[in-house]
Amino acid sequence: MKRIVSGVQPTGSIHLGNYLGAIKNWIALQNTYDTLFFIVDLHAITLPYDTRELFKATRDTAALYLACGVDTSKASVFVQSHVRAHVELMWLLSSATPIGWLNRMIQFKEKSRKAGDENVGVALLTYPVLMASDILLYQSDFVPVGEDQKQHLELTRELAERVNNLYGGRKWKKLGGRGGAIFKVPEPLIPPAGARVMSLTDGLSKMSKSAPSDQSRINLLDPKDVIANKIKRCKTDSFSGLIPNPPEKSLEFDNPERPECNNLLSVYQLVSGRTKEDVTKECQGLNWGSFKPLLTDALIEHLHPIQVRYEEIISDSAYLDSVLEEGASKAAEIADATLKNVYQAMGFLQR
Ligand code: AQP
């Protein structure tokens, strides 16, 4: 069975973007792949953070994976820092990573500029090496990646090939290893179209946990009235409220001049489980005033069962702990086997 690894960072409240762009897709993937879904806590400290929030967000994220339908009889669910091999492999990979590769990462450039260059920790620069370690440890065949992670996955692939060339094959065999490639080179798995959810306050920026305004996102745990309020106040466009809705001013998908419109319609399509054609037909002739209540109801209806299930899971600490313990032990088994090979191939004395 082909293997997939994926995760979300506990950097805040899990929102509709994380759900529609990642977690919801995992539910289908876990039926056809060997899947490992982890809470990416080690990555969550690359920028200044609040320790209590990290603690809470880690548990909440784990509970939400399960509440959204991740099934522990099919997938391993674990916390990244519970599997020590991630950090250990990262060090080994760092020695084979040219610093120029890291300096050219767009996300590093953007995030360090935002944080003010002097205050940036080394971890922000070396983040892609930890990501490579997350993936290569499990000999993953595929990694679901959004647009902004494509460059990091490319670095993972290059690094896997580099380490295979430097230390694999006959050189490894001479050290008593099996020879051949040390790492499988993973392929990107591009999520279904339309799964990039944009901010509610700016249709050109993606919905994000770290955006300062909570109004910009729908969190999976937002109560009904909060959802209703956010949709009521979300940014629409200058077509808004125009009467009497001539057909060319209808709500529409894919008009680059109307990013908010495309985003809200796409969200409606995804949470109502309808086709694009159905939504296009339904929304012909609607104005924002009549569309927003439809979207609000669809969101509330979709998120309600997730919220109920989340409450059950989060209040049962023993259950959540046992899921994470079991997940970490399954993951560690695979990860430790890879790590042992890497140490051997790199010439370390076996323990
Ligand atoms: N707006 C989005 N639309 C679709 N998918 C999204 N993802 C994130 N935002 C959207 C997907 O969620 C997964 C986990 O993301 P992450 O936590 O590892 O980091 P991120 O992409 O940086 O997510 P955020 O919410 O924007 O967090 P912060 O603000 O901390 O950076 C990934 O699969 C991602 O594609």
| Ligand 1 atom 2, closest CA | 17
Helix axes 317-345, 51-67, angle to 10 degrees: 100
pLDDT of residue 242: 47
pLDDT of residue 16: 97
Ligand 1 mean position, distance from CA 21 (Å)? 8
**Residue 206 is among the residues annotated as catalytic for this protein:** yes
Ligand 1 mean position, distance from CA 195 (Å)? 11
pLDDT of residue 241: 44
- Measured between alpha carbons, how far is 30 from 53 in angstroms, rounded to an integer? 29
Instruction: List the catalytic residue out of 111, 171, 235, 249.
Output: 111
Pocket of ligand 1 contains residue 194 by CB under 6 Å: no
> Tokens standing for 135?
């993936």
Q: Which of the residues in the chain have pLDDT under 50? A: 240-244, 246-248
| Ligand 1 atom 14, closest CA | 8
Q: Write the pLDDT tens digit of every residue in 82-119.
A: 999 999 999 999 999 999 999 999 989 888 888 776 77
Pocket of ligand 1 contains residue 159 by CB under 6 Å: no
pLDDT of residue 136: 98
Instruction: List the catalytic residue out of 2, 24, 114, 209.
Output: 209
In DSSP notation, 34-85 reads EEEEEE-TGGGGSS---HHHHHHHHHHHHHHHHHTT--TTTEEEEEGGGSTH
CATH architecture, domain defined by 214-312: Orthogonal Bundle (1.10)
pLDDT of residue 243: 46
> Which residues of the chain form CATH 1.10.240.10?
214-312
pLDDT of residue 249: 64
Question: What does the buried/exposed string (b/e) look like for 316-332 if buried means 16 or more CB atoms within 10 Å of the residue's CB?
Answer: eeeebeebbeebbebbb
Average pLDDT, the chain: 93
CATH superfamily, domain 3-196+317-345, is HUPs (3.40.50.620)
Q: Write the pLDDT tens digit of every residue in 47-62.
A: 999 999 999 999 999 9
pLDDT of residue 148: 79
Ligand 1 mean position, distance from CA 221 (Å)? 16
> Which residues of the chain form CATH 3.40.50.620?
3-196+317-345
Ligand 1 mean position, distance from CA 41 (Å)? 14
Pocket of ligand 1 contains residue 146 by CB under 6 Å: yes
**Residue 111 is among the residues annotated as catalytic for this protein:** yes
pLDDT of residue 201: 96
Q: Write the pLDDT tens digit of every residue in 142-159.
A: 999 877 788 999 999 999
